[in-house]
A and B are shown apart, each in its own frame.
Chain A
Amino acid sequence: MDRRVVGFVLVSALCPVASSAQDASAPAFKEGDVIGYDKVEQLQRYVPKEFWDNRDFFFYEGMKLEIGSSQSDYSPSTPYVEATKRNVGKASVGAESSLSGYVTGQPFPLDKIDCKGDPNAGAKIAWNYDHRWDGEGGATKFIYSYWDRGERLPLYYEGKSRRVWVSGRVEPEYQATNGDVFRGEQRKRVNGIEVEAPFDSRGLTLLTYRYKGSENPQAQTHNDDTWVYSPALRRVRRISSAQRADAVAGTDFTLDDLNSFDGVVPQYNWKCLGEQQLLAPMNSRMKGYPLSKDQNFGPFGLSFADDVWSLRDAIVVQFEPRNSDHPYSKKVIYLDKQAMEPLYSFAYDRKGELWKLIWHNHRWSGDKGFVYPAWPGVDEPRDIVTVSDIIVNVQTGTGNRIEAWDRHGTPFDSKGALRRYIDQNRLTKGR
């Protein structure tokens, strides 16, 4: 027998770990492959375990999961990168994961964060995520649907939403004000939502201010303010919300679950868990709502398996709520390392059992057919935006799907238009 063959046989017999470790480094798929239901086993090592354990919700006969490019560059826009360099070393993490000294750009350059050695690594990543490149914020039309073990429920909401960053802006025109759009700005960002359908909810409008003070330790925090115009009441109600994390029957998302995490960082203890290479739906080939309303989301209505997925480097963080009344005991979030966009997250109930699974689909601003115009100071938007969020309650089989395929972060044409949009008096004007 050839000595090399004998050697190979001996090594294979004596070193099964070495050979399986070698297998682990090479995926069984390559760019351009289409993975059907019969081959989903190939994906197991490249999705989070919690996702794989619940794959019956997502993988189905007839799915065509296309492997996209793993080399795509989704790095943020040049002004954001320059702002990060300009302000390096200014931001710091204080008591209760609070943030101080932040100006603009990424607060803590990711390559300098020591995941295992720095006790503040989790908080730093959370702040990087919170202040990720987002253009002006994001404007879109949306549809919000409700699902129960594959049945689409009659309840739904359609409307418009817009998020506007009024601080931390990287355009050169805001350098003199350290990123503030208006001088002396106390707000961090503003969110607006207008419901247009169904008929009985048409006109429901919400406007929320999140303040810079929300980045302080909890004792000095500035809670969000929300104004709600209800057409049924024909008046505006003002709410100061400290708690945004309530889980509610009828909708599986909490306010803080949007984008996997939309909460206030200092309300949680953060931990960096490490890095993982994984597959996720990064740059959809779909047009989606409102451009196309006939997309296949699988038998449960909660799957992106019939789309393009890409192999990405993810960073994994975990939070535990400081508030003992919080319905979650912890949440594990997988973020794209380059774009800091959410890929997957997993929320656990108070008993420590997996409760909710959240995942997202994305589109890249540079793709042909995606309308995301440049604006003064930002020649190329370079923004990978979340176009759909899905949440699955793995204990009950219910879920929600938010679709928003036409989202963009191009700012208002003028400061006047922005000023009118973020003014709470807008809610009652013309009614």
Chain B
Amino acid sequence: MRKAQLVCAALFAALVVALPSQAEEPLDVAGIYELQGETTVEGSPDRFIITGKLVVKQKGVDCTTIVEAAMRRAAGTSGPVSAALIGSGEMKLTGRKLAGEAELQSLVSEVPELDVAVPFAPRTAGPILDAVATGDVLADGSIKMEIRSTVIGEGFTLPEGRKTIVIAKRVARSPHELKKK
């Protein structure tokens, strides 16, 4: 009897070891992230600082994203001093790798020298950007992403060699979670 029990236990253990991939849960990446990063243009002094929020909603390996960010010129002379970016997209999680796409609407102040965050000042819709992002979930849960954008619609162009790198740090699981003070 005891021998039979031992055999069963060994068989069970072997079965568990044999099926690790079925039991593997995708990483939990859902939540609200604070974004920080910059956009640079190869061969140009233009540099834009990006700050904002990334919201990730997750169903297994499929994620939907919402981006609300502000972009401010730190160096260079082209374009307005600041712009806002809002948009949404989809991403897929493979292990610790993320890849996906987003459509981002840019908004600029109608007074180009005025910050977009100034309330009441009229703003206008700028180009819509098609962004392709690839990234990694880092050991501390942050996401590092490289974003390449192309412009949708006529009348706008983006310089070649434009690249955005952002680090998104998870700050909350839900919008109802108060910031720790």
Show the binding face of A for B, using Cβ within 8 Å: 54, 56-57, 144, 148-151, 155, 157, 193, 201, 204, 206, 224, 226, 228, 230, 232-233, 237, 239, 241, 243-244, 246-251, 253, 255, 299-300, 325, 327, 349-351, 393-398, 400
Query: Taking A230-B111, A233-B113, A327-B105 as contacts, is the C-beta distance between A144 and B119 under 8 angstroms?
Result: yes
Inter-subunit contact A255/B179 (CB<8 Å): no
13 contacts between A and B (CB under 8 A): A144-B119, A149-B175, A149-B178, A243-B124, A243-B125, A247-B107, A249-B68, A249-B69, A249-B84, A249-B116, A327-B105, A396-B55, A396-B68
Q: Which chain B positions have C-beta within 8 A of A327?
A: 86, 105
In this assembly, does B47 line the interface, its C-beta being within 8 Å of a C-beta of chain A? no
B52 interfacial contact with A, CB 8 Å: yes
Complex-state Cα separation, A151 to B180, whole angstroms: 9
Q: Knowing that A226-B110, A248-B86 are A-B contacts, what are 11 other residue pairs whose CB atoms are under 8 Å apart, sorted by A's residue number?
A: A149-B179, A150-B178, A226-B122, A230-B114, A233-B111, A247-B86, A248-B70, A249-B69, A249-B85, A327-B105, A397-B176
A253 to chain B, nearest CB (A): 7
Q: Are A230 and B84 touching (Cβ within 8 A)?
A: no
Q: Min CB distance, A298 to chain B, in Å? A: 10
A288 to B69 Cα, complex, angstroms: 31
- The answer to whether A248 touches B175, judged by C-beta atoms less than 8 angstroms apart, is no
Q: How far is the CB of B33 from chain A (nearest CB, A)?
A: 10
A201 touches B118 (CB 8 A): yes
In whole Å, how far is A179's beta carbon from the nearest beta carbon of chain B?
A: 27
A255 to B175, CA, bound (A): 24
B110 to chain A, nearest CB (A): 4
Does B120 sit within 8 A of A, measured CB to CB?
A: yes
Q: Report the count of interface residues on B (CB-CB < 8 A).
A: 38
Known: A204-B118, A250-B117. A325 touches B111 (CB 8 A): no
With A157-B119, A206-B120, A327-B86 in contact, do A395 and B66 touch (Cβ < 8 Å)?
A: yes
CA distance A118 to B165 in the complex (A): 53
Does chain A have a CB within 8 A of B172? yes
- Find out whether the CB atom of A396 lies under 8 angstroms from the CB atom of B32: yes
Q: B86 to A249, Cβ gap below 8 A?
A: yes
Bound form: Cα–Cα A62–B110 in Å: 44
Contact A395 B55 (CB under 8 A): yes
Contact mask for chain B residues 107-141; partner A; CB cutoff 8 A; 1 contact, 0 none: 10011011111111111110000000000000000
Instruction: Check if A397 sits within 8 Å of B172, measured CB to CB.
Output: yes
B88 within 8 A of A: yes
In the bound assembly, the distance between CA atoms of A45 and B123 in angstroms comes to: 38
- Which of A144, A150, A246, A327 has the largest count of B CB atoms less than 10 A from its CB? A246
Q: B70-114: contact bitstring with A at CB < 8 Å (1 yes, 0 no)?
A: 100000000000001110100000000000000001010011011
A250-B175 in contact (CB<8A)? no
Considering the chains assembled together, what is the distance between the CA atoms of A255 and B174 in angstroms? 27
Instruction: Give the chain B neighbours of A351 by CB distance below 8 A.
Output: 88
Q: How far is the CA of A150 from the CA of B179 in the complex (A)?
A: 6
Contact check, B117 vs A248: say whether CB atoms are below 8 A apart.
yes
Report the nearest A residue to B106, measured CB to CB. Answer: A246
The reply to whether A249 and B52 form a contact with Cβ atoms under 8 Å apart is: yes
Min Cβ gap B90→A in Å is: 11
Neighbouring A residues of B154 by C-beta, 8 Å: none
Q: Is the CB of B110 within 8 A of A249?
A: no
Are the CB atoms of B120 and A246 closer together than 8 Å? no
Most central of B69, B125, B177, B181 by chain A CB within 10 Å: B125
Q: Given the complex of chains A and B, what is the CA–CA distance between A223 and B118 in angstroms? A: 21
User: Within the complex, which residue of A57, A155, A244, A396 is in contact with B122, where a contact is CB–CB below 8 Å?
Assistant: A244
Q: Of B70, B178, B179, which one neighbours A250 at CB under 8 angstroms?
A: B70
Cross-chain contact of A57 among B52, B66, B113, B176 (Cβ < 8 A): B176
- Once the chains are docked, how many angstroms separate the CA of A247 from the CA of B110? 14
Among the listed B88, B124, B176, B179, which residue makes an inter-chain contact with A241, where contact means beta carbons less than 8 Å apart? B124
State the Cβ distance, B136 to closest chain A Cβ, in Å: 23
A233 to B118, CA, bound (A): 15
Please tell me if B170 contacts chain A, counting CB pairs below 8 Å: no
Docked complex Cα distance between A48 and B83 (Å): 34
| CB closest residue in chain B, given A233 | B113
Contact of A206 among B70, B121, B171 (CB under 8 A): B121
Partner of B175, one of A249, A325, A394: A394
Report B51 CB to chain A, min CB distance, Å: 8
B169 at the interface (CB under 8 A from A): no
Q: How far is the CB of B65 from chain A (nearest CB, A)?
A: 11
Supposing A239-B111, A241-B124 touch, asked if A396 and B88 sit within 8 A by C-beta, the answer is no
Among A239, A253, A325, chain B packs the most CB atoms within 10 A around the CB of: A239
Name A244's closest neighbour in chain B (CB-CB): B122
Contact A255 B125 (CB under 8 A): no
Proximity string of chain B (29-55) to chain A, C-beta cutoff 8 Å, 1 when within and 0 when not: 000100000000000000000001101
Partner of B123, one of A54, A204, A246: A246
